[in-house]
Amino acid sequence: MLKVTQPSTRETTMARRLRFNGTDSKNGSCPAVHEDLDSGEIIVQGRPLTDPADLRQLQHFGLDDAAVVIPRELLVNHGPKEMDRVPKLIDLEEFGQLFRRFEHSAWHLETRRGYASDREDEGYVEFLKTGQAPMDLDSDWCQNILRQTGAGKYVGRVRVVDTPPTEGQRFLLSYARCNAATGEDVRNLWREDAERAHLPAEDF
């Protein structure tokens, strides 16, 4: 039995920042699990339980409560496994392999104001001197993306940009020429628009 509280005063004055954790639905409809990024609370959506005979069997069911029915596997697959959210960390080698083994599409949300890996790149030094990032289509990364898009797969990313853009963001905006040349779909989104859309504050 799961209980979902009705909208509180907090929710009417300030919308929650929710992360979509997942669904087992094949068509994108409910049931699904979301997580409040600030409070850590879990929001579950599903088919409402409305039969009075069923509701009478629920214990500790308050007047302002609502109950929904969801498949057991939804919580197993997408519910939290720990009290505190623990991210799964992978190394750079495993991360790179994801872009070689994917079957249909690969998409990335970039939210940071700068990346240490970019600052360590030789092309960053050239950007600081000339104001333009170099085209390195012969690099392993670009060659792989060219192969993937050439095979009909989709590769895309959205970069969140501040007003005005930071130095690191200006580097990536310039480097987008190289991304586009590999067939990657690269788009930019102002940070204020990302916040209005309740996008996560970390990369995804």
* Total tally of structural domains belonging to the chain: 2
> How far is Cα of residue 25 from the mean position of the Cα atoms in its chain?
18
What's the pLDDT score for residue 86? 67
Question: Any idea what the Cα angle at residue 107 is, between residues 14 and 73, rounded to 5°?
Answer: 70
Does a structural domain hold residue 137? yes
Distance CA 142, CA 181 (A): 9
Does a structural domain hold residue 204? no
Containing domain of residue 188, as a range?
92-196
What's the pLDDT score for residue 174? 95
What's the pLDDT score for residue 6? 57
What's the pLDDT score for residue 11? 47
Distance CA 114, CA 150 (A): 30
What's the pLDDT score for residue 169? 96
Does a structural domain hold residue 86? no
Does a structural domain hold residue 144? yes
> How far is Cα of residue 171 from the mean position of the Cα atoms in its chain?
22
Q: Are 9 and 43 within one domain?
A: yes
Distance CA 22, CA 48 (A): 19
Tell how many helices (H) and how many strands (E) occur in the chain. Answer: 9, 9
Does a structural domain hold residue 118? yes
Q: Are 26 and 108 within one domain?
A: no
Distance CA 2, CA 74 (A): 12
- Walk along the chain (204 residues) and give the pLDDT tens digit of each residue: 455 555 555 445 678 988 888 888 765 567 899 999 888 899 999 999 999 999 999 999 998 999 999 999 888 888 887 777 666 777 878 888 889 999 999 999 999 999 998 998 889 999 999 999 999 899 998 999 999 999 999 999 999 999 999 999 999 999 999 999 999 999 999 999 999 998 888 888
* Tokens, residue 15: 């919308």
Distance of CA 196 to CAs 17, 42, 148, Å?
10, 21, 33
109: number of Cβ within 10 Å = 16
With beta carbons less than 8 A apart as the criterion, state whether 183 and 146 touch: yes
Single out the residue of 57, 52, 75, 64 nearest to residue 4, CA to CA.
64
Q: Decide: helix, strand or coil at residue 12.
A: helix
